[in-house]
């Protein structure tokens, strides 16, 4: 949850934001932007806890350079951007 910008401007509606762990070949969650904001529900795969692992955020498939730490039940607002 947070804002998403591309080249300093609010991202167009429908811009895809995905959340990844480095070793996975599919995203943990995906969402699209509306009014420059996004909402992504990331789900844990398998039995091993993701607690404390680094999440990677991508915008339209490109690494945004933004990361967050997985917290069970957490929803930390994060602004992501592409330049």
pLDDT value, residue 47: 83
DSSP state of 24: -
pLDDT value, residue 75: 83
CB 78 within 8 A of CB 64: no
Fold classified for 2-82: Immunoglobulin-like (2.60.40)
* 8-14 own/partner pairs: CB under 8 Å, 24+ apart: 8/81, 8/83, 10/35, 10/36, 11/36, 11/38, 11/59
pLDDT value, residue 48: 84
Q: Give the torsion sign (CA, 9, 14, 78, 3).
A: positive
CB 82 within 8 A of CB 64: yes
What is the rounded CA–CA span in Å between residue 42 and residue 83? 24
pLDDT value, residue 57: 97
How much is the pTM?
0.91
Encode pLDDT of 2-50 as tens digits.
999 999 999 999 999 999 998 889 999 999 999 999 999 998 878 888 9
């Amino acid at each position: 949850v947070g804002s998403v910008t591309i080249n300093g401007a609010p991202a167009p509606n429908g811009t895809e934001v995905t959340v990844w762990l480095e070793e996975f070949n599919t995203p943990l969650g995906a969402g699209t932007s509306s009014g420059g904001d996004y909402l992504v529900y990331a789900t844990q795969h398998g039995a091993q806890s993701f607690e404390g692992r680094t999440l990677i955020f991508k915008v339209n498939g490109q690494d945004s350079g933004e990361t967050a730490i997985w917290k069970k039940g957490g929803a930390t607002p994060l602004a992501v951007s592409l330049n």
